[in-house]
Structure 1
Amino acid sequence: MNRPRQALVIAVARDGGHRFSKPLATTITLLAGLGVEGDAHARVTVQHRSRVAADPSQLNLRQVHLIQAELFAELAMQGFAVAPGALGENVTTEGIDLLSLPVGARLQLGRTALVEVTGLRNPCAQIERFRPGLLAAVLGRDAAGRLVRKAGIMGVVLEGGLVRPGDAIGLTLPPPPHRALERV
């Protein structure tokens, strides 16, 4: 009998600067209402440069960036070697389809950290500068021809705590009707 695979954190990363890739860490600390301690995007208000330029008072719905490791395997089959942290994510997961989660889904990371999913990361030209051709590889189309963004999801920290590789991931879905993720 095949048992479902447990969802796990396989890598964590943070960077105090606004660089594309983030160095891996042994642990990260999530701070309620702020994001990843020591990360350039940890604030109540938006820190993504293009969004700051548009309106620096916007709430930060992009406090934590998560990517499923399964994307790296898919990219490897297309000739792209991408490792955890390389696409700027804070948390790399395995065994959970992040892209299919609805807005408001809650992910418990480790013992106490709780992240509420806010939307999809919108892949930008920085991905193309990182690896030519990669932008097209992290975008696709579904059966109806709608754009599919595969570069991870974003969330806000509801409850803080330590997160490390090997931590289990718990999932709580919001009450229906569920709202599909859109870019944030």
Structure 2
Amino acid sequence: MDGTVTAVSSNGAYSFTKPNRERITLLAGLGVDGDVHAGVTVKHRSRVAKDPTQPNLRQVHLLHEELFAEVAAAGFDVAPGALGENITTRGIDLLGLPAGTLLRIGPEAVVAVTGLRNPCRQIDAFQDGLLKQVVGRDGSGGVVRKAGIMSVVVDGGVVHPGDAVVAELPAGPHRPLDRV
């Protein structure tokens, strides 16, 4: 259940995509240093409009690189940072992790998984039709979200491409991820 960081991204201004960086610094209880979504309370515009005092459960967005090959098969060109994620991973089933999983990233940083990213129409503005590739239905009609997971920073530290990602599952019973 371990993986590797393949890219790190951040942006101090609101935009859908985030440029890749040589490293990012995670700050305990806040998120990615210098990123527009860092903070104790919500930063996502629609959530701020509803209640700006809500806790920020979306401090760090992680996305599995394997999704890029999946959407490429349907004709879409997506690269690290393009969907607004902060950390792109390979080799770890992010979507299969239970809520509360701790991810040790590199030698110092630890994030706690809070839930699934709930993709919105901005994905279609980025590439028309891409939203249907990252949100679908399972055999019983349930919604399947594939646009990564959200987390909060437990222990800060610097994260680089090539760093290990090690999952520590919470004590059972495990709660499946839901949108946050």
State the TM bucket, normalised to the shorter chain: over 0.9
Q: Secondary structure at the match of 1:7?
A: strand
Structure 2 residue 28 is matched with structure 1 residue 32: yes
- Per-residue deviation at 1:100? 0.5
Counterpart of 2:121 in structure 1 is 125
Tell me the C-alpha RMSD between the 2 structures. 0.9
Aligned residues: 180
TM-score under structure 1 length normalisation? 0.96
1:170 equivalent in alignment to 2:166? yes
Distance 1:70 1:97 in 2: 9
Indicate yes or no: 2:86 matched with 1:90.
yes
Is it true that 1:42 corresponds to 2:49 in the alignment? no
1:56 aligns with 2:74: no
In the alignment, what sits opposite 2:137? 141
SS at match of 1:117: strand
Amino acid at match of 2:106: G
Among 105, 108, 111, the residue aligned to 1:112: 108
| TM-aligned CA deviation for residue 14 of structure 1 | 0.2
Match of 1:68 among 43, 64, 74: 64
Identity rate, percent: 63
**Counterpart of 2:19?**
23
Residue by residue over 1:32-89, the C-alpha shift from the partner in whole angstroms, topping out at 9 and shown as x without a partner, is: 0000001000000000000000000000000000000000010000100000000000
Q: Unpaired runs of 5+ in structure 2?
A: none
Q: CA deviation at 1:143?
A: 2.4
Write the distance in 1 (CA, Å) between the matches of 2:157 and 2:79. 24
Whole-angstrom distance in 1 between the partners of 2:89 and 2:107: 16
Distance in 2 of aligned mates of 1:117 and 1:176: 15
In structure 2, C-alpha distance between the alignment counterparts of 1:145 and 1:179, rounded to whole Å: 20
Return 5+ residue gaps in structure 1 as ranges: none
Displacement of 1:114 in angstroms is 0.2
For 1:78, the equivalent position in structure 2 comes to 74
Query: Is 1:99 matched up with 2:95?
Result: yes
Classify the secondary structure of the residue corresponding to 1:39: coil
Displacement, 1:141? 1.5
